[in-house]
């Protein structure tokens, strides 16, 4: 199981509970995000113009800022279900 598959699997196993992640943004800075998966608030049914999983991304609901996309390749740390998972750069 590679890194992207492991990150997606851990997030899906959270079953909508609050998780946190640290990852590297496109500009090179490190960002921490607290999020949930499976939120339908504000969804209008239009959908995205691309498949996020085909490029290693995952769409989540950040607690204060709405829907955001995480690049699973750049994840450094993921905390879910009282467990911490860490990866190197």
pLDDT in tens, 62-85: 988 989 999 999 999 999 988 999
Query: What pTM value is reported for the model?
Result: 0.82
pLDDT in tens, 12-52: 898 889 999 999 999 999 999 999 988 877 778 788 888 88
CB 74 within 8 A of CB 23: yes
The CATH number, out of the four listed (2.60.40, 2.30.30, 3.40.50, 3.30.429), of the domain defined by the range 3-83 = 2.30.30
A 10 A CB-CB count for 10 gives 18
CA–CA dist 23, 42 (Å, integer): 25
Domain ranges of the chain: 3-83
């Amino acid at each position: 199981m590679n890194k992207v598959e492991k990150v997606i699997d851990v997030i899906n196993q959270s079953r909508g509970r609050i998780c946190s992640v640290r990852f590297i943004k496109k500009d090179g800075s490190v960002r921490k995000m607290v999020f949930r998966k499976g939120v339908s608030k504000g969804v209008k049914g239009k959908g995205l113009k691309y498949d996020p999983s085909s490029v290693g991304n995952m769409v989540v609901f950040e607690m204060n800022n709405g829907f955001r996309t995480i690049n699973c390749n750049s994840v450094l740390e993921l905390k879910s279900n009282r467990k911490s998972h860490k990866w190197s750069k």
